[in-house]
């Protein structure tokens, strides 16, 4: 942490550091510090872009020809339209790895101890970190959307619906960054945090409707996929972008009410994991 940041946090008397307004100010200071650090290490953002772009290109041009969805016979680009919302959702959930590794690194370097010694809101350090991760995720989504448009992806709904779709994606990413925060506070090294932050994401994202229709999965696995919060967001975004394949009828309740289910899942995850993370942070190192 720079001396400027430390000074900015320490300029307010301890007795004044109460209430939501002060907590918001503390969170903003921490978020600004992490965003500044991100701009000084641009390769983090660059490598964060490579993986989702690779997924888009590989699934579109390598495996896309072997995967069919309703409407594919009439529209050769049907799978491309079906795929891109899933890639968007996968990309925002991978914010878990960045959040967990970043917080674990701060823990090992003693920055968290220094923050805890300052007169600031306890949850501000984690909130600031997750907000900075949200900024990075937003930049990645913007670039990924440009790439998707270049390879033929299009939206077919009103502008405000498209914006709502991207907001749902960012809400999911923010929710998952709180999971990453808890992981980062629970492990002993950034390397372990990265592994712990990713190992459970792959089954979560693949046992979903992101890459293939759930109807192609075994019957016993389909309810798991339908009630997956990741699936709800993917379906909601497809609906808001107008990317639901022609002829694909959803009978599962979470898919029929995907927008509200997606928002509900994200809010629930934020409420639960923020509470657990702040509690863990307060107990860290005594």
- Read off the pLDDT of residues 259-270 as tens digits, 9 standing for 90 and up: 999 999 999 999
pLDDT of the residue at 6: 43
> Quick check: is 97 in a domain?
yes
Question: Are 241 and 85 within 8 A, CB to CB?
Answer: yes
> Read out DSSP for 94-124?
THHHHHHHHHHHHHHHTHHHHHHHSSS-TTH
pLDDT in tens, 221-275: 999 999 999 999 999 999 999 998 877 778 899 999 999 999 999 999 999 999 9
pLDDT bucket at 63, cuts 50 / 70 / 90: confident
Q: How far apart are CA 192 and CA 144, in angstroms?
A: 28
Residue 112 has pLDDT above 50, yes or no: yes
List of residues 6+ apart from 168 with CB closer than 8 A: 233, 236, 237, 240, 259, 262, 263, 266
198 inside domain: yes
- The length of the chain is 286
pTM here is 0.84
Structural domain contains residue 10: no
Q: Decide which of 268 and 143 is more confident.
A: 268
CA distances for 192 relative to 43, 97, 124, 189, 284, angstroms: 21, 10, 24, 5, 17
- Of 133-137, 156-160, 166-170, where does mean pLDDT reach its minimum? 133-137
Q: Would residue 22 count as lying in a domain?
A: no
What is the count of structural domains for the chain? 1
Task: Look at residue 232 and tell me if it is in a domain.
Answer: yes
Q: Structural domain of residue 178, as residue ranges?
A: 28-283
Q: Are 29 and 56 spatial neighbours (Cβ–Cβ below 8 Å)? A: no
Tell which wins on pLDDT, 76 or 134.
134
Q: How confident is the model at residue 71 (pLDDT cuts 50, 70, 90)?
A: low
- For residues 240 and 168, the answer to whether their CB atoms sit within 8 Å is yes
From 81, 79, 83, 82, select the one nearest 52 (Cα to Cα).
83
How far apart are alpha carbons 126 and 239 in whole angstroms?
33
Which element (helix H / strand E) includes 273?
helix 258-283
For 187, the enclosing helix (H) or strand (E) is: none
Residue 23 lies in a domain: no
pLDDT band at 75 (very low <50, low <70, confident <90, very high): low
**Tokens encoding 230:** 């990741």
CA-wise closest residue to 2 among 29, 39, 41, 42: 29
Q: Compute φ and ψ for 273, nearest 5 degrees.
A: -80, -25
pLDDT of residue 244: 87
Q: How far apart are CA 279 and CA 211, in angstroms?
A: 36
DSSP count for the chain of H helices, then E strands = 14, 0
Residue 4 lies in a domain: no
Higher confidence at residue 175 or residue 61? 175
Residue 63 belongs to a domain: yes
pLDDT confidence of residue 72 = 56
The pLDDT of residue 117 is above 90:
no
Beta carbons within 10 angstroms of residue 230's beta carbon: 25
Beta-carbon neighbour count of residue 19 at 10 Å? 10
């Amino acid at each position: 942490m720079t001396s400027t940041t430390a000074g900015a946090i320490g300029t307010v008397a301890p007795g004044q550091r109460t209430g939501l307004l002060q907590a918001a100010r503390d969170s903003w200071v921490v978020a600004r510090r992490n965003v500044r650090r991100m701009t000084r290490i641009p390769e983090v953002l660059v490598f964060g872009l490579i993986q989702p772009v690779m997924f888009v290109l590989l699934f579109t041009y390598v495996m896309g020809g072997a995967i069919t969805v309703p409407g594919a016979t009439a529209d050769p680009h049907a799978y491309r339209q079906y795929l891109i919302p899933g890639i968007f959702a996968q990309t925002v959930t991978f914010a878990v790895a960045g959040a967990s590794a970043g917080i674990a690194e701060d823990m090992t370097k003693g920055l968290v101890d220094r923050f805890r010694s300052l007169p600031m809101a306890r949850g501000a350090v984690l909130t600031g970190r997750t907000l900075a991760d949200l900024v990075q995720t937003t930049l990645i989504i913007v670039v990924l959307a440009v790439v998707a448009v270049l390879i033929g992806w299009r939206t077919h709904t009103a502008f405000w619906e498209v914006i709502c779709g991207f907001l749902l994606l960012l809400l999911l990413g923010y929710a998952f960054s709180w999971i990453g925060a808890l992981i980062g506070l629970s492990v002993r090294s950034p390397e372990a945090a990265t592994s712990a932050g990713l190992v459970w994401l792959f089954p979560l994202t693949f046992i979903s409707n992101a890459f293939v229709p759930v109807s192609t999965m075994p019957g016993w696995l389909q309810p798991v996929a339908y009630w997956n919060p990741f699936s709800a967001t993917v379906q909601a975004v497809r609906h808001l972008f107008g990317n639901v394949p022609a002829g694909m009828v959803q009978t599962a309740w979470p898919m029929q009410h995907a927008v509200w289910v997606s928002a509900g899942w994200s809010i629930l995850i934020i409420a639960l994991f923020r509470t657990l993370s702040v509690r863990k942070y307060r107990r860290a190192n005594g």
